[in-house]
């Protein structure tokens, strides 16, 4: 099926001009209209009516769906989105979905019924997701994973996790435990893949007994630390899939009399502001959270303004920050 880009190429004009011709033909020169008409006819192009409808009325509001408003990583992403939205003269309507599909449905519907002009989703896409914004509805996923079927912004979670675990291996750790997020969260899946890749390359066998499932929240990190303390042959290092759980785990281990990093090394993921002030300071992956928000909003406004989006999968660079919480095993 021909796309607007094919028509633009055939007519020798920009996609913006084609789209203008479809929604406001009076704003396009007669000469260009003739070229566009000929290209449409030749390619049998059928414009997406929903997309056309979108361009005809603006609400100057975008919806941002967040699965957990208390998570500091998400707060930074939202701050990035908000600053771009302000520059564009848009309001941000925050949808705290608490990971509920019903709530998501309501917010998506707001955009589909034109109560808002576009949507940024902060929950990473899962293959089992039945809910997706309809084609033609401007939507971006701001913190996604590898296989997202619509425009998304992310870091290389697999590569970042592998780097963290390589660091622990290079310090001499062989028994490296994990505190994961919920097992079906795409970020948990990607980060687990990076963990396993690093172990495999170092010829260390994967041991599921030392992987404890958390939920990216503080309390799950604390409870996982207690479980590790009860193990006879405790790991000498723990790869935590976010800073919140890492900081909680440090608290749990310290309360049980362990010294970090002497008795156990801890790593996080996110680089929350507080991670450079906790004692010991946390070795972690610094995600460009604010930039991820900004880039998502820029992409969304490009879609709203019908500018062409050439790439769907936007991968931003991360940094691996080595601080005091990691050291060689005793």
- Which residues are near ligand RIB by CB under 6 A? 71, 73, 143, 181, 187, 216, 242, 269-270
39 Cβ contact list (under 8 Å, min separation 6): 7, 10, 11, 45
Q: CB of residue 173 vs ligand RIB: minimum separation in angstroms?
A: 22
How much is the CA Rg of the chain, to the nearest whole Å?
A: 24
Q: CB of residue 270 vs ligand RIB: minimum separation in angstroms?
A: 5
45 or 107, CB closer to ligand RIB? 107
177 or 181, CB closer to ligand RIB? 181
195 or 269, CB closer to ligand RIB? 269
Distance separating the N- and C-terminal Cα atoms of the chain: 63
Count of alpha carbons within 13 Å of 251, Cβ hemisphere only?
14
User: Counting Cβ atoms within 10 Å, is residue 269 exposed (0-12), middle (13-18) or buried (19+)?
Assistant: buried
Q: CB of residue 202 vs ligand RIB: minimum separation in angstroms?
A: 24
Residue 270's region, left for phi above 0, alpha for psi from -120 to 50, else beta, is left
Q: CB of residue 241 vs ligand RIB: minimum separation in angstroms?
A: 7
Rounded distance, CA 154 to CA 124, Å? 9
Q: CB of residue 102 vs ligand RIB: minimum separation in angstroms?
A: 19
Of the candidates 125, 121, 162, 126, the one whose C-alpha atom is nearest the C-alpha of residue 269 is: 162
Q: CB of residue 166 vs ligand RIB: minimum separation in angstroms?
A: 19
216 or 301, CB closer to ligand RIB? 216
Q: CB of residue 121 vs ligand RIB: minimum separation in angstroms?
A: 12
181 or 288, CB closer to ligand RIB? 181
Question: Would you call the peptide bond into 162 cis, given omega within 30 degrees of 0 as the criterion?
Answer: no
59 or 217, CB closer to ligand RIB? 217
Paired with 152 in beta bridges are 141, 313
Q: Degrees (nearest 5) of the Cα angle 326, 329, 330?
A: 125
36 or 240, CB closer to ligand RIB? 240
1 or 277, CB closer to ligand RIB? 277
Of the candidates 221, 330, 204, 207, the one whose C-alpha atom is nearest the C-alpha of residue 269 is: 221
Residue nearest to ligand RIB (CB): 242
Question: Which run of H or of E encompasses 227?
Answer: helix 218-229
Residue 202, Cβ neighbours under 10 Å: how many? Answer: 15
Q: Are strands 139-141 and 176-180 parallel, antiparallel or unpaired?
A: unpaired
Q: CB of residue 159 vs ligand RIB: minimum separation in angstroms?
A: 14
């Amino acid at each position: 099926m021909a796309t607007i880009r094919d028509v633009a190429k055939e007519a020798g004009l920009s996609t913006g001009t084609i789209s203008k011709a479809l929604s406001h033909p009076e704003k396009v020169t007669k000469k260009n209209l003739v070229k566009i008409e000929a290209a449409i006819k030749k390619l049998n192009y059928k414009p997406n009516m929903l997309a056309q409808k979108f361009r005809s009325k603006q609400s100057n509001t975008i919806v941002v769906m967040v699965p957990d408003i208390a998570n500091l990583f998400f707060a930074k992403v939202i701050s990035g989105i908000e600053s771009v939205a302000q520059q564009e003269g848009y309001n941000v309507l925050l949808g705290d979905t608490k990971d509920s599909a019903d709530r998501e449905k309501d917010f998506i519907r707001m955009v589909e019924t034109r109560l808002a002009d576009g949507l940024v989703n902060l929950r990473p896409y899962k293959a089992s997701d039945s809910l997706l914004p309809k084609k033609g509805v401007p939507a971006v996923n701001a913190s996604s994973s590898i296989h997202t079927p619509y425009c998304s912004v992310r870091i290389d979670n697999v590569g970042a996790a592998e780097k963290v675990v390589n660091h622990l291996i290079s310090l001499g750790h062989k028994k490296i435990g994990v505190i994961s997020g919920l097992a079906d969260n795409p970020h948990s899946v990607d980060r687990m893949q990076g963990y396993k890749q690093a172990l495999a390359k170092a010829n260390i066998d994967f041991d599921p007994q030392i992987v404890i499932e958390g939920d990216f929240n503080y309390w799950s990190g604390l409870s996982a630390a207690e479980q590790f303390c009860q193990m006879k042959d405790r790991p000498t290092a723990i790869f935590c899939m976010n800073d919140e759980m890492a900081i909680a785990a440090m608290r749990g281990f310290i309360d049980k009399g362990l010294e970090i990093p002497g008795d156990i090394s801890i790593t996080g993921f996110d680089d929350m502001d507080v991670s450079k002030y906790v004692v010991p300071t946390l070795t972690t992956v610094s995600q460009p959270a604010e930039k991820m928000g900004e880039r998502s909003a820029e992409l969304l406004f490009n879609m709203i303004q019908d500018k062409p989006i050439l790439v769907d999968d936007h991968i931003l660079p991360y940094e691996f920050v080595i601080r005091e919480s990691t050291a060689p095993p005793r």
